[in-house]
Amino acid sequence: MAWYRRSKLGFDAISSYFTSKLTSPKSTIRNSNQLSKLTCSAYYPLKVSKVSVDRSLNSRLYATSNRYYYVDSRQVRHFKPRGYRRWFDNPKNVFIAVLVGFGIGLTVYFGNVETIPYTKRRHLVLLSKNLERTIGESRFKNMKVGLKGKILHAMHPESVRVRLISKDIIEALQRGLKKEQGKNEVLNDMWVDQSREKGKEKGGKSATGHLEGLNWEVLIVNDHVVNAFCLPGGKIVVFTGLLEHFRTDEEIATIIGHEVAHAVARHAAEQITKNLWFTIGQLILYQFVMPDLVNTMSNLLLKLPFSRRMEIEADYIGLLLMASAGYDPRVAPKVFEKLGQVSGDSALRDYLSTHPSGKRRSKLLSEASVMHEAVAIYREAMVGREIDGFFL
């Protein structure tokens, strides 16, 4: 057993020697001072010297990976995107966008604003004249197809009568709209009055280009509906239900003059433009308010009032047209009052309808200043007719 213990001790000594040579690092401690410094390093951090990296190797490493930082002039690395994440975060971009938008808005406004004949009111119409005329002719064509069998023949007595009255109104309009007298006394409605005054101050020329070269057509429909209208492009439609209640030529001239006035003032195109702005405003308010409430309030406060104002304006223009055509304008107030009775007039129509009440329309047209202007035109037209008849 003694030889075994001796051989085991020798083997352990040899293996420990070789193991220490392979695994233990070279000791850098040579004296007690170095030992004390090493002991103190447990409490104080060691200073690490800068490691130099090959620039070519560094550039290759950066080239193969995405850089999520940028280096400023002081060689400081910023770990966030350079500049603004979105274009509208930059105040300069927002200012430029607002400036460009304002310029475009001014260009669109002054390029499409027009002055209405007679009332001198200025309004914005984005719909082109050709497109407006095309829409009116297309609707008229579809209407003739849909009402086939109800349209009276051109030689029917009622058709001939309405066509002759319409011809007088159209000829009065085609004489150049030269009966615009530019008086201060106009329809006693604040909106129309202020609009006309502003138009006169700016000296705007009345827009009549949409009335040039129109192919006027008159259609009489055999139906009990009490209605009449004039589509853009000079397409007049009258229902026999209206003729059953209004039998005299002056009464029919009042209705036709009113409908032609809508075409003169381009109310259909103006309504399309206003509906566009109303829709944009509603879409914005939908984000904050209930849609039903937005629709109701927009109708009561915007759409219906604008529609009633355009009807009042058409009443005034139609009054001057019928007077210029030689029809007594003093009949017009009674016509609109009667029309209100036929259609079921009520006080709520001044607030909840697209048309004003018959009493309100009659009252506005009966104003002394308005009627005086129309009667003066009527007398002048009648004198001209008598002179023509005398020489014939």
Catalytic residues: 259
Instruction: Report yes or no: 143 and 132 within 8 Å, Cβ to Cβ.
Output: no
Token look-up 């037209």 returns 381
**Residue 203, helix vs strand vs coil:** coil
H runs (alpha helix) in 267-367 = 267-285, 291-298, 304-324, 332-342, 349-352, 358-365
Q: How many alpha carbons fall within 13 Å on the CB side of residue 226?
A: 12
342 exposed, middle or buried (CB, 10 Å; 0-12, 13-18, 19+)? middle
Calculate Rg over the CA atoms of the chain: 44
Please check whether residue 219 is in contact with residue 236, taking contact to mean a CB–CB distance below 8 angstroms: yes
Is there a contact between 303 and 225 (Cβ–Cβ < 8 Å)? no
In Å, what is the CA distance from 200 to each residue of 124, 192, 204, 206, 266? 17, 12, 7, 10, 19
The span from the CA of 197 to the CA of 186, in Å, is: 10
Round to whole Å and give the CA distance between 10 and 34.
35
- 361 Cβ neighbours under 8 A, 6+ residues apart: 311, 312, 315, 333, 336, 337, 340
Place of tokens 């229902």: 239
- Please, are residues 189 and 309 in contact by the beta-carbon 8 Å criterion? yes
